[in-house]
Amino acid sequence: MEAFARAIAQEAAAIDAGFALLFFSQSLVEASTLSEALMTHAPGLHHAGCSTAGEITPQGLEDGHVLAMLLPSAAFTAVSVMVDNLSSSGMDRITSEVEALRRSLRARLGCDRTQGTFALCFIDGLSYAEEAVSSAIHWGLDDIPLLGGSAGDDLKFETTRLISNGRVTSDSAIIVLISTEIPFHVFKTDNFVPTDEKLVVTASDPDHRIVREFNATNAAEEYAASVGIVPQTLTPLSFASHPVVVKVGGEYYCRSIQKMHPDGSLSFFCAIDDGVVLSIAQPKDMVESTRAALRDVEERLGSIDMILGFDCVLRRLDARNRQVFRDISELYRVNNVIGFGTYGEQYRSMHLNQTFTGIAFGERQAAE
């Protein structure tokens, strides 16, 4: 990590970068090791980032890497805050932190500008708090668009890490406000459509996102019967290939299953509760739906310089299962996508699953 941190410091100095976003696999590096190396070799470089469930590098989808995205001071003004102890924090506190962050950005810019400003958030993907945190952040942002990703730990589901300016934590969230004159567009894409097959949550543990029963029947057995799989053979690939969705405000959002427990209960990546009605979803072509979304973004911006992307780990698993992993990876490569595999995605006020959320930047000369 010493060599990586030195390279970051040299590049940051060369382009006068004021902020860095960092995404790293814990199978490659400990968060504390990375943080210490950055503070040693680039002490003046503000930074924020998190552990991953896979990375999106300039070469496409990969695993076991650490990557940094540097924001030149001439084009970007960024401020950030880390919110600790999510499990015991009131949401009012998070909204207050966002409002304070807006004041800090206003002081840096010399004006209160929402146009040309966006917000990023990185959240502990094992905190069970993403919905409440995303909503609280969104509340404090007014019309500033929010997107981000839940930190992962390479599908171990043990501990995720967030880093910010020398601090390393779990059970926390990082909020970054960024202002730029470079044109950008915030978007999301998924690849599923709801069917008429319904699963009603009839017994659950909302605090731990566990469903014990669907339709008054053992959760795993009822889910397996609905998708035509033997319960004993359910795996993360099964859940990735056969997602369930919930209807909110006329639109369907994925509520992905994380894993099956020995008693047949199911853990979810998203909030769940008794009475929630889920629909079995039918996947559509991931490559074509992703290509169409990227084409739409390009038409909106005129051209794409690069995309900061947050890609659900279940999309990655599903891509492998359907043998389109290389195609998706190539789409990301040719469209200059940089980012990481998540345990959930944030998009405006929503916490999502099995979705790709991103912010695309237009060509730099478009800002002149």
The whole-angstrom separation of Cα 108 and Cα 19 is 14
Q: What is the mean pLDDT of residues 211-222?
A: 96
302 and 162 together in one domain: yes
Q: What angle do CA 288, 289, 292 make, to 5 degrees?
A: 85
Q: How many other CB atoms are there within 10 angstroms of residue 154's CB atom? A: 19
Q: What is the mean pLDDT of residues 133-155?
A: 93
147 and 255 together in one domain: no
Cβ neighbours for 44, distance < 8 A, ≥ 6 positions apart: none
**368: pLDDT strictly greater than 50:** no
Q: What is the mean pLDDT of residues 97-125?
A: 90
Confidence band, pLDDT 50/70/90 cuts, at residue 80: very high
Mean of all residue pLDDT scores within the chain: 93
97 and 213 together in one domain: no
**366: pLDDT strictly greater than 60:** no
Radius of gyration from C-alpha coordinates of the chain = 20
The count of residues in the chain is: 368
Confidence band, pLDDT 50/70/90 cuts, at residue 142: confident
266 and 294 together in one domain: no
**132: helix, coil or strand?**
helix
Which two structure tokens, joined as six digits, stand for 223? 């889910």
Range of the domain at 259: 192-283
**91: pLDDT strictly greater than 90:** no
231 and 343 together in one domain: no
The answer to whether 360 and 184 are in contact (CB under 8 A) is: yes
Confidence band, pLDDT 50/70/90 cuts, at residue 365: low
The whole-angstrom separation of Cα 59 and Cα 329 is 8
Q: What is the mean pLDDT of residues 252-276?
A: 91
Confidence band, pLDDT 50/70/90 cuts, at residue 254: confident
294 φ/ψ angles, rounded to the nearest 5 degrees: -70, -35
Confidence band, pLDDT 50/70/90 cuts, at residue 156: very high
Examine the fold and report which residue of 283, 316, 333 is the final residue of a domain before the chain moves on. 283
The whole-angstrom separation of Cα 189 and Cα 135 is 20
Query: Percentage of the chain surpassing pLDDT 70?
Result: 98
Distances from the Cα of 216 to the Cα of 199, 207, 211, 223, angstroms: 10, 20, 11, 12
Examine the fold and report which residue of 283, 310, 325 is the final residue of a domain before the chain moves on. 283
11 and 123 together in one domain: yes
**364: pLDDT strictly greater than 70:** no
Please tell me the total count of domains within the chain: 2
102 and 209 together in one domain: no
Q: Which domain CATH number covers 230?
A: 2.40.30
182 and 292 together in one domain: yes
**159: pLDDT strictly greater than 80:** yes
Condensed to tens digits (0 to 9), the pLDDT of residues 166-213 reads 999 999 999 999 999 999 999 999 988 899 999 999 999 999 999 999
Q: What is the mean pLDDT of residues 42-59?
A: 96
**227: helix, coil or strand?**
helix
185 and 196 together in one domain: no
The answer to whether 32 and 24 are in contact (CB under 8 A) is: no
The whole-angstrom separation of Cα 343 and Cα 50 is 12
267 and 345 together in one domain: no
The whole-angstrom separation of Cα 265 and Cα 261 is 5
Q: What is the mean pLDDT of residues 56-69?
A: 97
Condensed to tens digits (0 to 9), the pLDDT of residues 22-35 reads 999 999 999 999 99
